[in-house]
Every structure is written in structure tokens, then in C-alpha cells.
Amino acid sequence: MRPAVFLDRDGTIIEERGYLDRLELLELYPFTVDAIRLLNRAGFVTVVVTNQGGIGRGIIDEPFLHHVHETLDARLAAGHARIDRYYFCPHHPDAVIPDLRRKCSCRKPASGMIERACREMSLDPGRSVTIGDRRLDIVCGNAAGTRTVLVRTGHGAHEEAMPPGTARPDAILNNLMEAVGWILRTSSR
Ligand SMILES: [Mg+2]
Ligand SMILES: [Zn+2]
């Protein structure tokens, strides 16, 4: 089984835009390509795990989401970096699409997406790390049995100031690049 890094999308690898519903709103952080390339070269499987309730709410559709991810992939590829797979949850409690209006096991803080990725890609959660800008990312990573890093980009600085609730981050760092540095220093090879 292989180690992975489970990456939240908005506020972690790209700028937080609320609902990203136009391609022009897609903006990588300046360190994102380098950080992901470092993970690729260190042998971590890179998996994006993202709540996309905007699909259930009818704000974006699935083809558009794939288009965003293909565009993101192209920008990463230009810097020789790669996301190995994307998992998204299209559900939302207020979804307008009836099939998507339900309490699912994939919407973070639930850990269904990470657990599914581990099964489908033979990943070892115990040697893996979850990175996100919200406490729900940390709760999800904790529940899946990974280590976790809260980053201060996106909602992170605000979330850090909130009561922790059940989230137990192993580290709180400024951004994705610092998180990757921490992973490379602290992972047993
Ligand atoms: Mg986020
Ligand atoms: Zn879901």
C-alpha cells in the first residue's frame, strides 16, 4: 500500500472563490505547482478530495467541474506536477436536484471520499496526510486515520481562531508549501 496526500481544493491548492462557477476564477497559489511536484517526486499519491455541493444546488454542473479540473491539470503539467485523482461530493442538504439532496457519507467532514480512495488506489491512510483550510477537512482526515495539516490560506486563518471542536490537526502551517515541507521532514521513508 502506498502513502498519499489528500488535498482539499478551494483555499488549499487554489484561491477560495465561494462557488467557483467561471473558469476565470480558477487561480492557483504561487507555490501550488512546486508543492505538488515535490509530493510527486517523493512518491506520494496526490488525491484531491473536494465538496462540490454547488452541483446539487444547481450552481455548476458536472461537466463544468471536470473542465475546471482538466484546466488545473494542464497548469500543473506545465510545471511537471500531477494530481493523480479527483474525488468530489456533489451532494448538499439544500440541493435542488432531488437525487443529490441527502445526507451522504462522502460530504466532508465525513470521510467517505478518503476511504473510497484508499480502497480503489491501495493507499495506506496511516502513512498518509490530509491537508485543508477548514476544520471539516481535519475532522475528515482524522476519521480516515491520516495525519492532518490545517493551512492558513483560504478560510484557514479564520478557522484557526475558532474553537477547535473535534478537529485535531497534527500541524497548523501557513500554506501548502509549508505543509509539504512538514510532510517531507516527518514521514518515515
Ligand atoms: Mg477548502
Ligand atoms: Zn456526498
Tell me, what amino acid is at 145?
Answer: G
Ligand closest to the CA atom of residue 156: 1
* Cα separation, 39 vs 76, whole angstroms: 13
Residue bearing cell 467557483: 20
Q: Which of 8, 61, 124, 133 is catalytic?
A: 8
Instruction: Respond yes or no: is residue 8 known to be catalytic.
Output: yes
The residue extents of the domains of the chain are: 4-186
Out of 10, 21, 124, 133, the active site residue is 10
CA of 81 to the centre of ligand 1 (A): 20
Sort strands 4-7 and 45-51 into parallel, antiparallel or unpaired. Answer: parallel
State in Å: Cα 149 to ligand 2 middle.
22
Which pLDDT does position 99 carry in this prediction?
A: 92
* Model pTM score: 0.97
> Does residue 170 have an active-site annotation?
no
Long-range contacts of 69-73 (CB under 8 A, 24+ apart): 71/23, 71/26, 72/13, 72/14, 72/26, 72/28
**Max CA distance (Å), the chain:** 47
Q: Measure 120 CA to ligand 2 centroid, in angstroms.
A: 17
Ligand nearest to the CA of 10: 1
pLDDT at 188: 76
Contacts of 119 (CB under 8 A, 6+ apart): none
| Cα(139) to centroid(ligand 1), Å | 13
CATH number at 4-186: 3.40.50.1000
Query: How many whole angstroms from 9 Cα to the centroid of ligand 1?
Result: 6
**pLDDT tens for the chain, residues 1 to 189:** 999 999 999 999 999 999 999 999 999 999 999 999 999 999 999 999 999 999 999 999 999 999 999 999 999 999 999 999 999 999 999 999 999 998 899 999 999 999 999 999 999 999 999 999 999 999 999 999 999 999 999 999 999 999 889 999 999 999 999 999 999 999 975
pLDDT of residue 50: 98
Whether the CB-CB separation of 138 and 130 falls below 8 Å is answered with yes
Does the N-terminal peptide bond of residue 98 adopt cis geometry, omega within 30 degrees of 0? no
